[in-house]
Structure 1
Amino acid sequence: MGSRRPWGAEKLNRMHPLPFSLWFALLMFCRCVSASEFAHITLNKEPNDHLESLAQISDSEVSLERTFLSPAHRRASTQLRVWMEEAGMETWVDAIGNVHGRINSSNPDAAAIVIASHFDTVLDGGKYDGALGIIVGMAAIKHTVLQAAQQAGVDLAGSIQQAGAPVPEAARTAAQRTLRAPLHLVAFSDEEGIRFKSTFLGSRAVVGSLVPNGMLDAQDRQGQSLRKVLEAEHAAAGKGSRPAEEIAASLVLPPQSVKEYVEVHIEQGPVLEGLGVSLGAVSAIAGQTRLWVVVNGTQGHAGTVPMRGRADALAAGASIISAIEHICGGGPDAPPASDEASENEMLVCTVGELRVWPGASNVIPGSVQLSVDIRAKADMLRTSIVQQVKADITRLCITRGVSCSVAQNHDAPAVLSDAGLVQDLVSAIRTSQPLLQQILPSGGEAAECTGPGEQCKWGENTEENDAGEALASSPSACSGQGRDVPVLVSGAGHDTMAMAEITKVAMMFVRCRGGISHSPLEHTEPKDVAAASAALATFIAGRVL
């Protein structure tokens, strides 16, 4: 007996007699176009549209500002929840403001693959920091849900014809019967630490380290503690009155319920751009310590107090800042950075916030507060530098006749990524080419799909740099195909550091223009967003389909 012909071709042939081979070719052509457009919507158009929309949700009319539980932060939370539900996930918001989206699997007891990043911003921030990881994760999960539904035999024809189209309920139900592990997306409410001067509030709530780290007693500028905020949010959700410690315990994801954690994030540095590739994997994250220094002097009249009799808090603060810069190897007298070992230590120290009281031109400052951020790849070096900075602050305050206090608000050790996860991310980046070809035609042209047995072809347009080298307008350049996928060390802190306390972790970095971040100039090309979505979707599919 001969091979069975596809039902669609048989029916069409009865209705309109034509050579079977022609009908078969036409059907395959239509399927190819449909699949290409399907992926283009879920992994390219939709995530790029969502990023632009999310960037419009701000507490400032002139810049992007979305801090922990502000009005804009709450509006963003609502919008993210809508998008997660459109992607086929059930959703909820916990008492600390984390937005959760989850789709279960055929095995109710299986541990989940958790994908996350944060949706708060710094003041005058960029639209990709944090938000990119959430939106790319959402796109990859939506694409995976639809793939799983197709494997289960659900006909999705006409279901996803434009961005924003929700996953049909039948597809969601079928996907849950097909997936081998649950997928859990978390939009963390606070990573930057702007309001309470303590980073990773959202992810630390999930891993259960809010209470052990004393974060409940952290206060914002209005003197409101995180403890009171948690209790108020819990009550506002109609869940009654409970102590903050009990609420914090209810936010925790049990370690046994988490199989692994992956975070996608812009690089916030220039390496990927310099290499001409869109994506890289992360092998480690530098450790970080944050100090808050208060200097109290004697406030006085600028015109009547002699210079030698002053206890000027701002002058003492300036000496402290200069000393920190010197300790960490910076300043005009610093030796040339020629030692490769010194570069590999990645020691950097920053005073990024300074408050002066009373802040009048005719008053000697009576009080100064300043932040200190110390980072290094090696924990031993970072710990040594922190102790040296504290000792110098004490010495300088005694010398200048002022009082000082130093609070350590944040201390995160360096984190190593799981080697197996890193390798799997590298492999996913390399093998996401067929999917990327569907969603990101070269030079913006439509992919040409000519029939059965042929792959969609790319247009001939490419970009070149000044040296005539191909840039990332082709799929191979976008994802690093044909060249090594970079594996980097992150100098910036990420929620991955907190999540490493309960599970194995890894990160994927995405190229950003000029390495600029925490700035309105922060930018990631739409094609790089698409490359990240395709790579993450490939990574997830290999684990759950």
Structure 2
Amino acid sequence: MAPGAPTASARAIADAATIVRWCDTLAGISQDDARTTRVYLSPEHARVNAVVAEWMQDAGLRTWQDAAGNLHGIVDGATPDGPVLLLGSHLDTVVDAGRYDGVVGVLMAIRTVARLAASGPLPFALQVIAFSDEEGTRFGKALLGSSAVAGVWDDAWWDLEDGDGTTLRQAFADFGLDPARVGEAALPPERLVGYLEAHIEQGPYLEQAGQALGVVTSIASARRFSVEAVGEARHAGGTPYERRHDALLAAAEAALAVERICRAEQHVGTVGTMSVEPGAVNVVPGLARFNVDLRGEFDEGRDRVWESITAAFDEIGTRRGVTVSPTEVHRAPAVFCAPALMDAVRAGIAATGESAPAELFSRAGHDAMSLGLVTDVAMLFLRNPDGISHHPDEFVSEDDVALGLDALAVAVERIADDRAETR
């Protein structure tokens, strides 16, 4: 290790080894043997909650599952029914996921709470939340678990369906949850001190800066759309080009327009799925479905870019004789981290020996977006070599996890000190 490089405590080094081992264990809780896929209200969701609940209990936390399927663990503060500082992340995954996205933040929170509780009660309770559905993989709507905790559940979501046609309402019942009681998952905002989330960076910027840890300044404003391009299915051999209304080509051109406009406007737009009907080699496609994920640092810029994209869709559709119709399926405002909590995270990183902690805007969404609706939030990013995520190759080193544990513990202590000074 280079002279002056950040160093971790012996306690953090030991805890980091445990966390990496736990990540490996959880990666095996999957609906697929060959890859990690763990979605909301599935048997794997129940299994992972049970395993992590045992680890919470072994660490001295009192545990329960809430009315939306989120797992909680708590260590009481100095005052019964007093304020609560939340820490956490999520346990669900995308399809064919890596083993650290979300998971490492939950496990770091558990070990941090155990470490701090050993020194006696803080002026607030420490509550770890393992959110159940950050990704939105099963029902297409992200942040379901944390939306319930924030008290912003929308009853329109009950009719969402998964790929097998199961509604969210039915999935709740199948999992043993009562849809009528989902409101009980909401936490009282007046008791909350704030929310801290540790997470791997889902980009390359910390690696480029040569730093293990970073302070998040804000979280991307996001909108998602499902889009239908409706043309006309006709014989591939018998239909001349001037008579074709090819839905696939319109959709492909629309996808390129998303990239072109977002690159020019310094936003991020992605077309992640596309399907075609009737899907025969000798038939001009009459229907294409695709989605658009749009992200920006500010809501106003994001919405301006979307207007440019829809104008491009209209032009493409008119020129090709295809109707291109988007429907919004998700909207999340930009969330700005609270300065006082950012200062605490910054102090935590500085305590590891990093003199000038990196500050980053998160282009990825996180459960902190929901919690930011009801309390102050801050995030600690951990270096992810090459920045790859939502992929089996995502990675965080044991050394960086150890540094993150020390930083998170100091951040919580700083929040406790600040609270004591203001009383």
Tell me the TM-score normalized by structure 2: 0.91
Match of 2:52 in 1: 80
With 64-73 and 83-92 compared, the bigger mean Cα shift is at 64-73
Name the aligned partner's letter for residue 188 of structure 2: P
Superposition map of 1:8-407 within 5 A: 40-41=13-14, 43-148=15-120, 178-211=121-154, 214-233=156-175, 236=176, 244=179, 246-329=180-263, 346-407=266-327
Could you list the runs of 5+ residues in structure 2 that have no partner in the other structure? 1-8, 418-423
- 1:519 correspondence with 2:394: no
Q: Pick which of 357-366 and 253-262 moved more.
A: 357-366
Decide which of 477, 484, 488 is 2:356's aligned counterpart.
Answer: 484
Which whole-Å deviations, capped at 9, do the CAs of 1:367-408 have from their partners, x for residues lacking one? 211110111112211111112222322332233223333111
Separation in 1, partners of 2:205, 2:10 = 32
- What SS class does the counterpart of residue 289 from structure 1 fall into? strand
User: Matches of 2:319 and 2:255 in 1, distance apart?
Assistant: 15
Alignment partners' CA distance in 2, 1:248 and 1:393 = 38
- In percent, how many aligned pairs have the same letter? 36
Aligned length: 409
Q: Residues of 1 paired with 2:122 and 2:341: CA distance?
A: 19
1:215 to partner: Cα distance: 2.6
- State the shift of 1:40 in Å: 4.5
Residues 247 and 404 (structure 1 numbering): CA distance in 2 closer, same or farther, change over 3 Å?
farther
Answer whether contact 1:208 1:248 (CA < 8 A) is retained. no
Which residue of structure 2 aligns with residue 510 of structure 1? 382
Give the distance between the partners of 1:38 and 1:505, measured in 2 at CA. Answer: 26
Give the deviation of 1:80 after TM superposition.
1.2
Structure 1 letter corresponding to 2:181: I
Are the structure 2 counterparts of residues 38 and 307 from structure 1 closer, same or farther at C-alpha, using a change threshold of 3 Å?
closer
Q: Decide whether the 8 Å contact of 2:23 with 2:103 is kept in 1.
A: yes
Q: Bigger CA drift: 385-394 or 112-121?
A: 385-394
Q: Does the 8 A contact of 2:67 with 2:184 survive in 1?
A: no
Residues in 1 aligned to 2:412 and 2:159: alpha-carbon distance in whole angstroms = 39
Return the index of the structure with the highest Cα Rg. 1
Contact 2:271 2:290 in 1 (8 A): yes
**Structure 1, unaligned stretches of length 5 or more?**
1-35, 149-177, 331-341, 434-475
The equivalent of 1:497 in structure 2 is 369
Aligned-pair CA distance for 1:526: 0.5
Aligned to 1:535: 407
- Residue type matched to 1:522 in 2? E
Cα deviation for residue 95 of structure 1 reads 3.6
Moved more, 130-139 or 85-94: 85-94
Report the equivalent of 2:346. 426
Check the 8 A contact 2:344/2:412 in 1, yes or no: no
Name the SS of the counterpart of 1:329 in structure 2: helix
Tell me the amino acid that sits aligned with residue 425 of structure 1: V
Paired with 1:392 and 1:93, the residues of 2 have a C-alpha distance of 46
Q: C-alpha displacement at 1:232, in angstroms?
A: 4.0
Q: Counterpart amino acid of 2:135?
A: E
1:411 shift after superposition: 1.2
- Shift in alpha-carbon separation, 1:363–1:198, aligned structure 2, 3 A: same
TM-score (norm 1): 0.71
Partner Cα distance (2:164, 2:23) in 1: 32
User: What CA distance in whole angstroms lies between the structure 2 residues aligned with 1:183 and 1:72?
Assistant: 27
Q: Secondary structure at the match of 1:349?
A: strand
Asked if structure 1 preserves the Cα contact closer than 8 Å seen for 2:108 and 2:198, the reply is yes
